Amino acid sequence: MKKIVVLVIVFIGLLLTPGWAGQDLFIKNGTLLTITKGIISGGDILIIDGKIRQIGQDLAPPEGIPVVDATGLYVMPGIIDSHTHIALSGTNEGSVAISSEVRMKDVINAEDTSIYTALTGGVTMVHTMHGSANPIGGENVVLKLKWGKTAEDMYVPYAYRTLKFALGENPKRANMMVVSANPRYPQTRMGVVAIIRREFEKARAYMEEWKRYNQLKKNKKLVSFLLPPRRNLRLEPLVLMMEGKMVARCHTYQADETLEFIKLSKEFGFKIGAFEHAWEAYKIAKELAAEKIGISVFADSWAYKMEAYQGIAYMAAFCAKNGVLVSINSDSGERIRRLFNDAAKTMRYGDLSEEEALKLITINPAIQLGVEKRVGSLEVGKDADIAIFKEHPLSAFTRCEKTIIEGEIYFDRAKYLEEQKKKEQKKKEKAEKKTPKGGLK
């Protein structure tokens, strides 16, 4: 009897867990751009409990399930933005150089209208990050853009835990953001690398201290005399990195300091998930490919500061063709709504195929975030995170019609326009009531 009660309690707990179960939906007769399994013309997708259960042609939906007619439309996996700063109540803890103890998941702003803006462009998932004012910033967070839901509903717990690093111009000029008689260290590129190394040395000593304590704890005679080391929240994320439980996401521009950070990762045994921006990555594409380190970059928009001066339009495509895992990001609450346009630029500048271009905003960022088993392509068993476009998503004339997360429609352009029309009508009727009969005199 006790076992039955426990099972019932566990089951109820799962039901009450935010985001536990998705919606049922049937998408019929669309052109399916699966990303990993080719293109299916006149294809159907059966979604049960937020998961893709069947993909194919001439499927029959279960009775009573909502149906979306995608005839003449293009259906693709939801777009993933691997570098943005939306949905946060803070971005930079610029008062200190090292702020690895801060966490973006503590300041998720579920009411940020940029979430809805992103949905209008087919974006379903974002990696929203600490800024670049610090050589070592805070822990980033991955979110599904479930507009209207809570921060807890949006949080993606199965993604990689990532820590933000920044090199070069931004962290060394961040002193200007801090009102102080004594400017913050570092103020040079060499200082940026030195302070990161210094912090890892501290973290390594801290890790060894805990190892000795845990070893001594095994001796029962000593247990009553032992005191644990004092916890250091600033060093703990760096220890997790050296233990392989977190990965680095590093803001960088120049090729030389990018290579320097790779050396640093080998010195302390941590993994680099991706370099951000990395406008000179084309100079070291072979080295990045050999180290299996990806880049998360703009499609264009270079030369906006000295570090970005040597950026080239062909950079993303060139690196992709040379074996680097590339994703296109927005770093913006505005550009985020047109990442499909940015992906298309790599066909013009670099001659990527349609499939290769679409990978830059779907499966590639999914791999970089460690979520490729759940999202990034249209496959049976994956989450039903889907974007439906009027024309091919790489067309200059397309637009997103519907954005779906786990089977639930979070953006519907037709519905939105109808609601706007009703609002305008009500506004007009209200104004007419206030106007005296016979009009103004």
Please give the full DSSP string across 54-71, using - where no structure is assigned.
Answer: EEEES--PPTT--EEE-T
Question: How would residue 440 be classed by pLDDT, with cut points 50, 70 and 90?
Answer: low
Q: Per the domain annotation, does 434 fall within a domain?
A: no
pLDDT of residue 10: 40
pLDDT in tens, 306-328: 999 999 999 999 999 999 999 99
Task: Clarify whether residues 90 and 156 are in a common domain.
Answer: yes
* pLDDT of amino acid 22: 85
pLDDT for the residue 174: 72
Structure tokens at 295: 């880049």
Would you place residue 19 in the very low, low, confident or very high pLDDT band (cuts 50, 70, 90)? very low
For 94-155, give the DSSP string. Answer: TTSSB-TT-BGGGGB-TT-THHHHHHTTTEEEEEE---SSSSEEEE-EEEE--TTS-HHHHB
Q: Are residues 105 and 246 in the same domain?
A: yes
Same domain for 227 and 114? yes
- Which domain covers residue 49, as residue numbers? 12-77+376-416
In a domain, residue 435? The reply is no
- Verify that 283 and 158 share a domain, yes or no: yes
Give pLDDT tens digits for 155-172: 999 999 999 999 999 999
Percent of the chain with pLDDT over 70: 92
Percent of the chain with pLDDT over 90: 84
- Residue 436: inside a domain, yes or no? no
- 160 within 8 A of 421, measured Cβ to Cβ: no
Together in a domain, 41 and 126 = no
Does residue 133 lie in a domain region? Answer: yes
Distance in angstroms (rounded) separating the CA atoms of residues 299 and 344? 9
What is the tens place of the pLDDT at every residue in 328-374? 999 999 999 999 999 999 999 999 999 999 999 999 999 999 999 99
222 confidence band (pLDDT: 50, 70, 90): confident
Q: Based on the structure, what is the number of domains in the chain?
A: 2
Q: Which residues are CB-neighbours of 398 under 8 A, at least 6 positions away?
A: 74, 340, 389, 390, 391, 392
Nearest to 349 by CA among 388, 389, 316: 316
pLDDT at residue 218 greater than cutoff 60: yes
pLDDT of residue 411: 98
**Residue 429, token pair as written in the block:** 């009727």
229 and 83 in one domain? Answer: yes
Q: What local confidence, expressed as pLDDT, does residue 186 receive? A: 93
Q: Residue 179 burial (CB < 10 Å; 0-12/13-18/19+)?
A: exposed
| Residue 202 in domain | yes
Residue pLDDT, tens place only, 51-83? 999 999 999 999 999 999 999 999 999 999 999
Q: Does some domain include residue 117?
A: yes
pLDDT attached to residue 15: 42
The pLDDT score that the predictor gives to residue 182 is 66
Place 297 in a pLDDT band, splitting at 50, 70 and 90: very high
The helix/strand/coil state of 412 is strand
Residue range 363-422, pLDDT digits in tens: 999 999 999 999 999 999 999 999 999 999 999 999 999 999 999 999 999 999 999 999
* Amino acid identity at 383: D
pLDDT at 48: 97
Q: What is the pTM of this model?
A: 0.92
What is the strand order of the sheet 79-84 is part of? 79-84, 123-128, 141-144
pLDDT at 9 over 60: no
Reading the block at residue 141, the tokens are 């967070």
Q: Please identify, among 325, 350, 375, the residue that sits at the C-terminal boundary of a domain.
A: 375
Residue 441's pLDDT band, with cuts at 50, 70 and 90, is: very low
Residues 289 and 150 in one domain: yes
- Residue that has been written with the tokens 């939801």 in this structure: 78
257 and 406 fall within a common domain: no
317 and 204 both lie in a single domain: yes
Gap between the Cα atoms of 5 and 235, Å rounded: 43
d(CA 371, CA 54): 20
Q: Are 410 and 147 in contact (CB under 8 A)?
A: yes
Segment 185-212, tens digit of pLDDT: 999 999 999 999 999 999 999 999 999 9
Instruction: State the pLDDT at residue 171.
Output: 95
84 and 227 together in one domain: yes
Could you tell me the CATH number of the domain that includes residue 179? 3.20.20.140
Listed residue (333, 405, 376) closest to 145, CA to CA? 405
pLDDT at 7: 44
Question: Looking at residue 18, which CATH number applies to its domain?
Answer: 2.30.40.10
Q: In terms of domains, do 311 and 384 share one?
A: no
* Residues 93 and 117: beta-carbon distance below 8 Å: no
Residue 7 lies in a domain: no
pLDDT bracket for residue 140 (50, 70, 90): very high
**Is 186 among the domain residues?**
yes
Structure tokens at 85: 């700063």
Whole-number mean pLDDT of the chain? 92
- Report the run of H or E that residue 415 belongs to, with start and end: helix 413-434
Residues 31 and 44 in one domain: yes
